[in-house]
Amino acid sequence: MSEPPFVSRERLLKYQQYFRNVHKHTYLKGRYDMITSVAIPAALTATSLYLIGRGIYNMSYGIGKKE
């Protein structure tokens, strides 16, 4: 016994033809896409670089070292 497909073959072919004929990029369409794919990684990178730089500075001047 076989299961029926989720989408009919004709409908699937129609979707495939549509997406093949689209010449614009299909990502970064809305402002929320820009936030999730650009702003969050940029913020994580900036935070990491700041903390690494601060740690190197503190180690080079001996700040926070236990006596």
pLDDT digits (tens, 9 = 90+) for 25-43: 666 667 788 788 888 999 9
Which domain covers residue 21, as residue numbers? 9-61
CA neighbours within 13 Å on the CB side: how many for 1? Answer: 0
- Whether residue 24 is contained in a domain is answered as yes
- Is pLDDT above 90 for 23? no
- Whether residue 25 is contained in a domain is answered as yes
From 1-5, 10-14, 61-65, the region with the lowest mean pLDDT: 1-5
In eight-state DSSP terms, residue 62 is: T
CA neighbours within 13 Å on the CB side: how many for 42? Answer: 6
- Number of domain units in the chain: 1
- Whether residue 1 is contained in a domain is answered as no
- Whether residue 67 is contained in a domain is answered as no
- Whether residue 45 is contained in a domain is answered as yes
- pLDDT band for 21, please (50, 70, 90 cuts): confident
